[in-house]
Chain A
Amino acid sequence: KNEVEQSPQNLTAQEGEFITINCSYSVGISALHWLQQHPGGGIVSLFMLSSGKKKHGRLIATINIQEKHSSLHITASHPRDSAVYICAVRSDRGSTLGRLYFGRGTQLTVWP
C-alpha cells in the first residue's frame, strides 16, 4: 500500500470549471507538498503546508492533519493548468525523518 494516495488518477475538465484533487496519507508528517509537473517534464513546487490553508492566485491548498487529508483546488481552470499534480508528504518519524513520500500523481487535462 502506498503511503500517499491521490484521487482521481485522471481528471478532465472544461475551461472555467472548479477542480479539486485529493490526497490522503497514512504516515505522520511534518509537512505536505503539492507539486506540478508539466508535459515537458519539469517539476515545480506549488505549496508546502503543515496546517490550514494556502492560496496562490487561482490555486488553493488545504490540509486537515487530524484526517490526514489535503486538497488542491483550482478555480476558473485554464488549459495551461493541464499537468500532473503530485502530492508528497514529509515524514516526521524516527529513521524516516524528513523523507518525502510521493503520490502517483493526478493527470489533469483542461479543454478550451
Chain B
Amino acid sequence: NAGVTQTPKFRVLKTGQSMTLLCAQDMNHEYMYWYRQDPGMGLRLIHYSVGEGTTAKGEVPDGYNVSRLKKQNFLLGLESAAPSQTSVYFCASSSPIAGTKYFGPGTRLTVT
C-alpha cells in the first residue's frame, strides 16, 4: 500500500514549456486534490475532483488543467509554464466518509 505518490519529484522548466504532474493513490479514494505551496503562504487549492471523470476549479486554477480519467490517477497539466508557477505541488486524496486527507511527497517545480 503506497498511499499517494507523485511523479516527478523535481523538475526544471523553461518559460513556455509544458508538462504534466501525475498523482496516483491506491486507497480507492473518491476525492483528489492538487495544491501549491509557496513561501509565507498556506497551501492553496488549484483543482480538485470528487470522482472519476469529474473535476472542479479551486482557489488558484489559472494556468493549470486537470484530468481524472481513472479513479486512482489525477493529472495536473501546465500548458505554458510561467515563472509564477515555480512552487511545490502537493497532491492529496481522501474518502468522503472518513475525511482524513493523505498527501503525496510533493513535486518541486522551478520555471526559469
Query: Contact residues of A with B, CB < 8 Å?
Result: 2, 4, 31, 33, 35, 40-45, 48, 86, 88, 90, 99-105
A104 to B58, CA, bound (A): 18
- Cross-chain contact B45 with A99 (CB below 8 angstroms): yes
- Name the A residues within 8 Å of B41 (CB-CB): 104
- Name the B residues within 8 Å of A90 (CB-CB): 99
Specify the main secondary structure of chain B where it touches its partner.
loop
- Cross-chain contact B99 with A31 (CB below 8 angstroms): yes
Q: List 28 A-B contacts (CB under 8 A).
A: A2-B42, A31-B99, A33-B100, A41-B88, A41-B105, A41-B108, A42-B105, A43-B92, A43-B103, A44-B103, A45-B100, A45-B102, A45-B103, A48-B99, A48-B100, A86-B42, A86-B43, A88-B42, A88-B43, A90-B99, A99-B58, A99-B59, A100-B101, A101-B42, A102-B42, A103-B42, A104-B41, A105-B42
Tell me whether A104 and B42 are in contact in the complex, defined as CB-CB below 8 angstroms, given that A41-B88, A90-B99 are known contacts.
yes
- Cross-chain contact B45 with A100 (CB below 8 angstroms): yes
Interface size on B, residues (CB 8 A): 19
Q: Min CB distance, B56 to chain A, in Å? A: 10
- Name the A residues within 8 Å of B108 (CB-CB): 41
Smallest CB-CB A-B distances: 4 pairs:
A102-B42, A43-B103, A102-B43, A41-B106
A43 to B92, CA, bound (A): 9
- Name the B residues within 8 Å of A101 (CB-CB): 42
